[in-house]
A and B are shown apart, each in its own frame.
Chain A
Amino acid sequence: MANEPGPATPLSPAVFAILLSLAEGERSWPSTNGTRRWGGKHGYLIMKDAMAARGGGVRLGPGTLYGSLDRMMRDGMVEESGLSDDERRRYYRLTNLGNSTLAVELERLDAAITSARSLGLLPQGGRS
């Protein structure tokens, strides 16, 4: 995984949940599409992903979501894809920096989980 310097970790729960949601969408984009890039996710889809257990169970409202997206765009972690199926709906996707920031955060969390396991704070072989 790339470890280029990005915004400081640990990330806030909202930023982490947004990165995770967009990364999940990008990963599930079929590779058969060739050079065409993934069109991104709109606000409510990101909200739903964040609230789901796999997204960290983070309860994001529209204010927190778009405030976080605004700052993440300024930091270069996400971008608007330009896709539009409704004039009010805006779609977002990860940039390379967003991908690497998420990777760094996941490695940090993974190291913490491994450490917790070795200390017996988590059952061995459990999901991480």
Chain B
Amino acid sequence: MPAIHKTVLDPLSDNNPITVQMLGICSALAVTAQLPTAFTMSIAVTAVLCASNTTISLLRNVIPPKIRMIVEMVVIASLVIIVDQILKAFAFEISKQLSVFVGLIITNCIVMGRAEAFAMSNPPKAAFLDGLGNGLGYSAVLIIVGTIRELLGFGTIAGLKVLPESYPGNGLMVIAPGAFVVIGLLIWLQRTITKKYEEA
């Protein structure tokens, strides 16, 4: 079905949550100094997105309109806490590095945004695929940014030395402003390719 394709593939590039919709920038800056944290964060956000989209979509016909957003928040918050608890139990080292940012998935605009914009008005299967697509779109950007920052910042990729020992490392890439620069360049690249511009 072409529609399914579109739901999953669109957010990867043409409608990417970070570089096109400009959502979820905060965590993209915070956890991308090194690849492993970026990768775990990607999995966590994708899992939460799929689960929250599916749950909200299943409930979409019974959620009272007045408390719609509060209900979405409760569902998302519960899912995030579950993910956080699972990481603490089974991936303790990484969960220590991600520290507060797993909890902050609750405030990640992508999750809330997709619940509002898609899951509330579409059946569960489509909502799940939309969550998956957006999760992967977010992941793609995080992994690209994480790779670039780790490579230029430390000369390593996922902890393995890639650049020669004499490479001094670039301190700017290690701190958040470096992520701003990299994400800015990515957005530029994305929009040059997709020809999608903000109306002035």
A and B interact physically: no
- On A, residues with C-beta under 8 Å from B are none
